[in-house]
Structure 1
């Protein structure tokens, strides 16, 4: 049982570390775009994509997985 718990803790630690690395990369990209003055352009291009993703997620959650 202890081995199983160790593996689960290791798995959780790796996932948490991966999320931290992704957050740091996203932050670095945002800072780079802000310094170059292209953050507004990036927002204009990303806004429709984010809205479409949120609409799709809302449809999926409202449908309850039924088709």
Structure 2
């Protein structure tokens, strides 16, 4: 039982660490784009893709019910 708990704790730590690293990378990219003045341009390109992703997620959730 102790080994299983150790494994679960290590797994949780790796997942949490990965999420933190990913968030820091996204923040660094956004900061670099903002400093170069291209953040608005990226937002214009990303907006249609994000709307489509949200629409798809909403449809899938509606289909589940």
Is the pair's TM-score, using the shorter chain for normalization, greater than 0.5?
Answer: yes
Tell me the TM-score normalized by structure 2. Answer: 0.97
TM-score normalized by the length of structure 1: 0.94
Matched pairs, number? 65
Task: Give the gaps of 5 or more residues in structure 1.
Answer: none
**d(CA) in 2 for partners of 1:14 and 1:51?**
31
Query: Runs (4+) of structure 1 moved beyond 2 Å?
Result: none
CA distance in 2, matches of 1:63, 1:35: 42
Tell me the distance in 1 between the aligned counterparts of 2:13 and 2:49.
Answer: 31
Residue in structure 2 matched with residue 63 of structure 1 by the alignment: 63
Q: How far apart, CA to CA, are the structure 1 residues paired with 2:20 and 2:9?
A: 16
Q: Which consecutive unaligned segments of at least 5 residues does structure 2 have?
A: none
1 or 2, which has the higher helix percentage? 2
Q: What RMSD in Å do the two structures reach over aligned CA positions?
A: 1.0
